[in-house]
Amino acid sequence: MDSHENLRFILKRVYMCRKQTLLIVLGFFLLGPAFLGAQTAAQLEAVLETQAVSCAQAAEFILAASGTASPQTGFEQAMANQWFRKGTTPDESVTLGKLSFLMMKAFGMKGGLMYAIFPGPRYAFRSMVSRSFIQSSSDPAMKVSGERFLLILGRVLSEVEEEV
């Protein structure tokens, strides 16, 4: 199993857990060397503990989980594909709108009519809400915590796996 498959496996398991058991399950997976290499475990722990996930962290995890990673860093690839707007920096906090657009593009997900006409963070966010990946009471300008990021990514991975 390579590190990308390990990451997908862990993220699917994280989604299945309730918030109360999330840390226990993650601790189990982080301590088990059979599941992850040390670098990936450290990255997962860093993301989980952060209050605001950076654009670079989000791109790395999403592109690895979607299987679309290239020799470039995730952030460089996302910028090259225009999944982030010009002027976005790697250390910038990712918002729910940016995260939604990045996930929809990386996983090749279809959106609603408005997303098909005007693909971008605004309508990607609305599509993610309508598919229940994101709570409807959320704001597309909200910064995303590590825990919330992993839960959303786990939901997306679960649906993508069901479609295949």
Q: State the Cα–Cα distance between residues 35 and 104, nearest whole angstrom.
A: 27
pLDDT in tens, 96-109: 999 999 999 999 99
pLDDT in tens, 129-161: 999 999 988 899 999 999 999 999 989 988 887
User: Dmax over Cα atoms in the chain, in whole Å?
Assistant: 46
Residue 4's pLDDT is 62
Burial class (CB in 10 A: 0-12, 13-18, 19+), 12: middle
Contacts for 28-37 with beta carbons within 8 Å, 24 or more apart?
35/6, 35/9, 35/10, 36/3, 36/6, 36/7, 36/10, 37/3, 37/6
Q: State the Cα–Cα distance between residues 52 and 142, nearest whole angstrom.
A: 10
Take residue 119 and report the two structure tokens written for it.
Answer: 């693909």
Burial class (CB in 10 A: 0-12, 13-18, 19+), 163: exposed
Residue 136's pLDDT is 85
Q: Could you state, in order of their start, the residue ranges of all structural domains in the chain? A: 3-163
Give the type of residue at 19.
K
CB contact at 8 A, 60 and 73: yes
pLDDT in tens, 20-54: 445 444 444 444 333 334 447 788 888 888 999 99
